[in-house]
Amino acid sequence: MVSLDALGVICTLGAGKAAVAEALFAGDDSGLRAETGWAPQRSLPLGAVRTTLTPIPSSLAARRDNRANQLILAAALEIEDDIRAAISLYGASRIGVVLGTSTTGIERTTRGIGVLREHGAWPADYRYADQELGAPAEFLAEWLNLSGPCYGISTACTSGARALISAQRLLDIGMCDAVLCGGVDTLARLPVNGFLALEALDAARCEPFSRHRRGINIGEAAALFLMTRESGKVQLLGSGASSDAYHMSSPDPQGIGAQHAMHAALEQAHLDAAQISYLNLHGTATEHNDRMESRAVAGVFPRGVPCSSSKSLTGHTLAAAGALEAAFCWLSLMDNAGRLPPHVWDGAADPELSPLSFTRVGDRLPASGPRRLMSNSFAFGGNNACLILGDAPGAAS
């Protein structure tokens, strides 16, 4: 059991915990706005971060200046005091960095390829390293002068969740005393057009679990936790992972691997399903994911559980999603009123899906007793991850 001592977060809901929490709990979907220029002759709703981002420090800009690094820097700056205190306490060699990502600086590379095709040479500012999957973690470690374990994880849309699982293991085996962990991904033409080619994008706001669902919206985000073995207010109680190896892009329709991940997290946390107060759904609004997930959830929670998908508010932030949605659970636990993320959709339930108990604006965690929140993440290749966050012993009564 480890503690999530601090959180920095930025997404289309806002910059920083306070702004994100207020928009999240209000069910504010205004951040999803139609934009052109990302796909040929198409206007698509995207969850862009529209806040002006802090520039990369001048000492690193020549090698590290890209949007992914700016987003993770924004998250890190929110908790810089906590990070510096940890460095002072544990030492730079005892702090690790593990970040999930899939796009890194690929949009900059896409622009560079355009220049190459037009002019026959790469632009002067092109850097291959921008698109390396470990680049955001390396940037963060370099900015903070950390010398502990440092690497990226790229397991598609479970990457952010898997980064937290990996960080937990680094602490458990004694390799680190603290780990900066989370996920970051940016809007980029490569994934937008890739999902468009798969006919998986909705031309309007996505509708998770609706009979009218047509696919995902894409967003960008960064969420960064400081994880330690201290007894902080919010703890990572359990985690689980599995792989279906069913299909390159479609999940196992029976949801067996998803159930295995949920059961593994419950087992590690020494909990029964009935003790979970809320479930964050992966909820992409694609035909196959929602069908699989509703079946898997019904199998693990036969008595039901309050649940929601936040992707109609943020878009699917790809490799950042698992960390971002764990952050939403963290915000619920830290909220004075215990507010829960609402399920924002058209209310048109699909009769072919296993019924779920969706939350609404104003729904809250139990006022007393231990509070345990589960978050699901699923990905291409049948990759499944599940996290359980909860109050530290004695934090809730």
In the prediction, which pLDDT does 392 show?
84
User: Catalytic one among 157, 176, 181, 307?
Assistant: 157
Ordered mean pLDDT values, 10 residues apiece, the chain (397 residues): 96 98 98 95 96 96 94 98 98 98 92 94 91 96 98 97 98 98 97 93 97 97 96 94 81 90 98 98 95 97 97 98 98 97 97 96 93 96 94 68
| Alpha carbons 156 and 151: distance in angstroms, whole number | 15
Q: The domain 2-228: what is its CATH number?
A: 3.40.47.10
Which residue type occupies 177? D
Q: Regarding the domain delimited by 234-391, which CATH topology (the fold level of the hierarchy) does it fall under?
A: Peroxisomal Thiolase; Chain A, domain 1 (3.40.47)
Q: Is 247 a catalytic residue?
A: no
- Shared fold status for 2-228 and 234-391: yes
In the prediction, which pLDDT does 397 show?
42
Instruction: Encode burial over 273-293: b for 16+ CB neighbours within 10 A, e otherwise.
Output: beebbbbbbbbbbbeebbbbb
| Alpha carbons 21 and 368: distance in angstroms, whole number | 21
Q: Is 263 a catalytic residue?
A: no
Q: Is 288 a catalytic residue?
A: no
User: Catalytic one among 181, 260, 316, 329?
Assistant: 316
| Alpha carbons 313 and 27: distance in angstroms, whole number | 7
| Alpha carbons 103 and 101: distance in angstroms, whole number | 6
Helices vs strands, H then E, count in the chain: 12, 15
In the prediction, which pLDDT does 380 show?
86
Q: What is the pTM of this model?
A: 0.97
In the prediction, which pLDDT does 347 show?
97
User: In this structure, are residues 349 and 243 in contact, taking their beta carbons and an 8 Å threshold?
Assistant: no
Where do the domains of the chain lie?
Answer: 2-228, 234-391
User: Catalytic one among 150, 176, 260, 282?
Assistant: 282
